[in-house]
Structure 1
């Protein structure tokens, strides 16, 4: 029976030495693929896309680990990550790509741990005979409901905590920006699908960049995607530091004449907690927990409404229709709420019926926009002009619902940190020479450096709302508005219709102007606060 969980299609290097698949097994796999194609033929034909995963130039260029690592991050599939620092890591991002998706049993994985560090002469000879043939493993596909769940899980992140703050900065009419951006983001999501269908073998955002601009396009888009994820890690540390220092404002520590305030103390403490999780060889547990981000978001939102409607803390009739002095910050905050385009190609590639992708995308956006708007209205109505960058800093802590909201907000980023950092770490590990990856200590050192650097950045600019506005204005605008249009026009060229060209031009105008205004304003206010 087919597992409903979504596994990405991956390319495993066939080796006569170890982990290889004999001719009989390959024949069985090919037969299963043929059966799957026949059983899913109606879905493929109805979706208008008969793309098949196959070895091609798109998955032989850095980063090769993108598809699998982003699937784990987004909850598309929560697999078991293998062992850090194997030789396969430099070619494929991590050994889990060669282990967990091939259906190996636990005993086989354990056997790999007791092999000698130095290869034997027989292994050397087998390694020299190693074939470059790539084995295609058929993906396990997902349903409409799973696709919506994954979409909402990506969109409803920590950005929802700043929804009331967005109204404070931009005014009540600023909510129209949220819905306008939602329409644009939905359209650009459809453009990404068109790009994926334009050529066989395209499955991820970097693949689209490579199809549009060659290898440099793939590298540039990948760097932007990884920077956005790294910035999210920075936000996680700021978020937990703010909430914990609000719960325990008198906490401090003096070590050797160095005074650690509550903010700095909790930032360091959170970093020390998440650091070992970045070293884990098996992220399956955390990937399942982080996939519950939707539940965590709904719980926090429910607690906010409970405090307002049941605990009845009172409402404030404050705020202007539009606040021109802060609308540029609101632009970035609203833009951040649609930072899911890095994941949409993965969700599309994992759908059993590709024709359902527009419905999956539309439903995900509607649910996320309604949650964001509801939190924005309720939060600002409760706290007014005193609204802070996270509404959890405003809720009265004497209520049980408030405590649940705050502690859920604290725990959720801790469970997501290593999953969010993993894609960037895996991509960097691909660049390490193969011989240096015989020991997983190199991977641990790299992940430790990334984690500590995120702490340094978080404490250098500890402004949750402004950092989020900067991410939304600069990185999200690029990934969600600008690059989908540019890539589509480059790939489609003369095949694009005039309405499509006109719509892309309009989106580019909105995206570039919003990005320029929001980025300049966020950087300016961050500099002012640092002075």
Structure 2
């Protein structure tokens, strides 16, 4: 198969000329896809970026910029892989299907394993943070029942809409709400950081900054990878677009929007609070209404984000298990689908109750799940499905740089996160 350029025109030509497209009769507009992408990736990840800078120093900003550029490139070639199937004449439905087409059934299983870390790990982080946030909002009232009970409540609240979601199009309006909330949180954190006196807020007389901390780079990279990791849901989001040839523009615009918010929050948070900055970052700003508003808004954002991640997982898992109306009938299909989705949400909630260490969990999921699916697998699948020899040397050099980037984050970031989790369990902190 002759390789094409990266332009959107060629992308559309490949889509029409090589395989037949999926059913888009109920698809939505490109703007819905834009909101979905921002809501999925610009939520939990943004909260840990100031602390990521504190681990790697100011030089870690280069990791943020590289993650941004690499993520845009990988998200475009990932979607192009959907239309380069070597084994069928229709568009591939998922990231797992791409890996299976490229590397066989074993490749599909390996990718699904890493994908599950994200699509289930993301909601785990969300339930942990929601439980902590609501307990903080209810401090001093009869509703201050503890983080674990609130985690269970949010798990049940997310399970209800999850049962009825059929496609990513159904999440469009909730994504707009989540995006507005995260933008508001970002602005509040930046403004309050500018007004704050950290000596009074966190009791640090001398705020310290470091230009570069080499040993902290892998941990910083894992958090930044999480902040740009959305590849596992991109095939479903692209399938919900009426005009899929707009994908390069949509994903580049969404990731650029997120990157601007990330830089703004990361720089202001680290500059003001230095090495004492917390994760989530809004716990570093003074107690008062702005902090409570941040907690409330981020809770809204991640609550609407959880169904998007879980919907992506259950849609693919249900297809693998054959939970269809044609096979089971309408009544049995609904009962089976509802039961599976409720159990999935309950599993995530249970993990969140048992492992309530938000910052360490974020680093582990970022390193193990997001580094692989965001940077490593898209390149490997692209090479396998389109060939290596036909690519110019500069493109191969770029691809190899991305592979090294992702591998460093995977190996050293995972080791660092596991070490910190073990320490937290032993010391209860």
Question: TM range, normalised to the smaller chain?
Answer: 0.7 to 0.9
**TM-fit CA distance, 1:463:** 1.4
**TM-fit CA distance, 1:509:** 2.0
Partner of 2:291: 402
Match of 2:338 among 425, 444, 458: 444
1:202 paired with 2:91, answer: yes
Aligned-partner SS, 1:198: coil
Equivalent residues of 1:271, 1:455 under 8 A apart:
yes
Change (3 A) 1:344 1:422: closer
**TM-fit CA distance, 1:324:** 4.1
- Aligned counterparts of 2:408 and 2:383: Cα–Cα separation in 1: 19
Change (3 A) 1:498 1:155: same
- Please give the residue correspondences for 1:451-470 in structure 2 after superposition, counting only pairs within 5 Å: 451-470=345-364
**TM-fit CA distance, 1:518:** 0.3
Change (3 A) 1:243 1:437: same
Equivalent residues of 1:147, 1:360 under 8 A apart:
yes
Change (3 A) 1:426 1:385: same
1:501 paired with 2:396, answer: yes
1:211 paired with 2:97, answer: no
Partner of 2:3: none
- Aligned counterparts of 1:357 and 1:273: Cα–Cα separation in 2: 32
How many positions carry a matched residue from both structures? 400
1:221 paired with 2:111, answer: yes
- Aligned counterparts of 2:9 and 2:367: Cα–Cα separation in 1: 37
- Aligned counterparts of 2:370 and 2:313: Cα–Cα separation in 1: 17
Name which of structure 1's ranges 295-304 and 362-371 shifts more when overlaid on structure 2.
362-371
Match of 2:258 among 368, 371, 376: 368
- Please give the residue correspondences for 1:4-403 in structure 2 after superposition, counting only pairs within 5 Å: 47-51=12-16, 138=25, 140=27, 142-143=29-30, 148-199=34-85, 201-203=90-92, 204-249=94-139, 262-280=146-164, 287-309=172-194, 312-314=195-197, 317-346=207-236, 350=241, 352=243, 354=245, 356-399=246-289, 401-403=290-292
Q: Which runs of 5+ in 1 are unaligned?
A: 1-42, 60-135, 254-259
Equivalent residues of 2:190, 2:264 under 8 A apart:
no
The one-character-per-residue Cα deviations of 1:400-441 (angstroms, maximum 9, x if unpaired) are: x33221111122333333333223234444426755974333
Change (3 A) 1:352 1:411: closer
The one-character-per-residue Cα deviations of 1:207-249 (angstroms, maximum 9, x if unpaired) are: 4223312344344333432331111110111111222233345
Partner of 1:11: none
- Aligned counterparts of 2:361 and 2:220: Cα–Cα separation in 1: 12
Q: Which has more helix, going by share of residues?
A: 2
- Aligned counterparts of 1:451 and 1:361: Cα–Cα separation in 2: 28
| Higher RCO (C-alpha 8 Å, min separation 6) | 2
The one-character-per-residue Cα deviations of 1:103-131 (angstroms, maximum 9, x if unpaired) are: xxxxxxxxxxxxxxxxxxxxxxxxxxxxx
Q: Which runs of 5+ in 2 are unaligned?
A: 1-7, 200-206
- Aligned counterparts of 2:193 and 2:369: Cα–Cα separation in 1: 34
Match of 2:369 among 437, 458, 475: 475
Name which of structure 1's ranges 337-346 and 277-286 shifts more when overlaid on structure 2.
277-286
Change (3 A) 1:476 1:443: same
Q: CA RMSD in A?
A: 3.3
- Aligned counterparts of 1:353 and 1:498: Cα–Cα separation in 2: 29
Aligned-partner SS, 2:48: helix
Change (3 A) 1:423 1:340: closer
Equivalent residues of 1:163, 1:333 under 8 A apart:
yes
Equivalent residues of 1:243, 1:392 under 8 A apart:
no
Aligned-partner SS, 1:339: coil
- Aligned counterparts of 2:322 and 2:80: Cα–Cα separation in 1: 35
Change (3 A) 1:358 1:267: closer
Aligned-partner SS, 1:49: helix
**TM-fit CA distance, 1:274:** 2.9
Equivalent residues of 2:225, 2:370 under 8 A apart:
yes
